[in-house]
Amino acid sequence: MSETPYALDIAGLTKSFDRPVVKDLQLRVKAGEFYALLGPNGAGKTTILRMVAGLLQPESGSISVFGTDTRTDPLGAKSVIAWVSDEPMVYDRLTPYEYLEFVAGLWQVDSREAQSRATELIGWLGLTPHAHERCGGFSKGMLQKVALAGALVHDPKLIILDEPLTGLDAGSARQVKQVLLDKVRQGVTVIMTTHILEVAERMAERIGVINHGRLVAEGTLTELRARIGRESTLEEIFLDLVAQKEMDGETAAEAAAA
């Protein structure tokens, strides 16, 4: 793995399904940064993150994770990434402990170290009373915590989360947010998509806004405010950026039609 200041370096990334979803995307996230990716429904956020995690193949462009190209060395890149989706990837018939043992085994973490981390994470996330119960009867929040524990048990350098707070109660959401902030303080890079703009506003160091598969704006909250030229909340900035892009699109379409 080469020395690079970037945890994630995306260049010219393109992906289409029945229509173009990601178009010539350039995106760089610094190591140890908390980065929030925002955008309206269908903007392409999840597709971008799934390509980074190795769940989708890009059509063109490159993705580099801590200097490792995900195409030439996918396993090397995967070994430092953790992926958490909005639908918890947990087995109904395994207990949280068994699940963490399995995940640690996949990432080849030393069994004693993994056990110590698993116990710590289970306690940290308030799952100790349920550690030896099968996940089948767990609530959405509990399942999401088990999935998060699974993502952290192999001590990743880059955590990618797709809407991790969806469906969580206030208490669980707070716990998850706290865990992520602690990880960033320890030097881990976190990239997260969210529709809860307040979360991005409070937690993220830099914010990227995606619309129609392109990065339409990027920067700290102050930089984004400066871009639209007035003191605003992130919600106002976001709506302004997305609306501006829609208008640009319509104008271009009208011009093409004329």
Partner 1 sequence: MISTPSSMPWFAAHEWRLMWRDGIAMMTGGYKTRTIALVFTLVTIAALMHLFANAMVGPWIDAGVVADKSTLVLVTGTGFLFWTVMLSQALESITRAYYSRSDLDLILSSPSSSRTLFAVRTGITAATTLLLACLLASPIVNVLAIRDGAHWLLAYLVFGAFSAVATAIAVLITIGLFRLVGPKRTRLISQIIAAVVGAGFVIGIQAAAILHFGNMSRFAFLTDADFIASMPDTGSLLWAPARAAMGEWLSLIVIVVIGFGALAGVIALASSSFGRHAIAAAGVSNMRTAQGHGELAFRPRGQKQQLRVKEWKLLARDPWLLSQTLMQILYLVPPALFLWISYGQTAGTYVVVIPVLVMAAGQLAGGLSWLAISGEDAHDLVVTAPVSGRAVLMAKIEAVGVAVAVVFTPLIALMLFASLELALTTAAFAALSSGSATAIQLWFRVPMRRAMFRRRQVASRVSTIAEALSSIFWAGTGVLVAGNQWLALLPATLAVVTLFVAWSLSPKGKRV
- Chain residues in the site for partner 1 (CB under 8 A): 53-57, 75-76, 78-79, 81-83, 85, 89-95, 97-98, 101-108, 110-112, 114-115, 118-119, 130-134, 136-138, 150
CB nearer to partner 1: give 53 or 215: 53
State how far the Cα of 215 lies from the Cα of 200, in Å rounded to an integer.
16
CB nearer to partner 1: give 93 or 230: 93
CB nearer to partner 1: give 105 or 249: 105
Are the beta carbons of 28 and 69 closer than 8 angstroms?
no
DSSP codes joined into one string, 154-165: T--SEEEEESTT
State how far the Cα of 31 lies from the Cα of 186, in Å rounded to an integer.
11
Nearest distance from residue 55's CB to partner 1, in Å?
6
Nearest distance from residue 151's CB to partner 1, in Å?
9
CB nearer to partner 1: give 31 or 89: 89
Nearest distance from residue 83's CB to partner 1, in Å?
4
CB nearer to partner 1: give 7 or 90: 90
Nearest distance from residue 48's CB to partner 1, in Å?
15
Scored b (16 or more CB within 10 A) or e, 96-113 reads bbbbbbebbeebebeeee
CB nearer to partner 1: give 35 or 99: 99
Nearest distance from residue 248's CB to partner 1, in Å?
34
Nearest distance from residue 129's CB to partner 1, in Å?
10
Across-strand partners of 38? 209
Are the beta carbons of 82 and 159 closer than 8 angstroms?
yes
State how far the Cα of 128 lies from the Cα of 194, in Å rounded to an integer.
28
Nearest distance from residue 109's CB to partner 1, in Å?
9
- The sheet with strand 189-193 has its strands ordered as 81-84, 158-162, 189-193, 34-38, 206-211, 214-219
Among 36, 115, 44, 49, which Cα is nearest to 82's? Answer: 49
**Taking the C-alpha atoms of 42, 43, 47 and 52 in order, what is their torsion angle to the nearest 10 degrees?**
-160
CB nearer to partner 1: give 55 or 243: 55
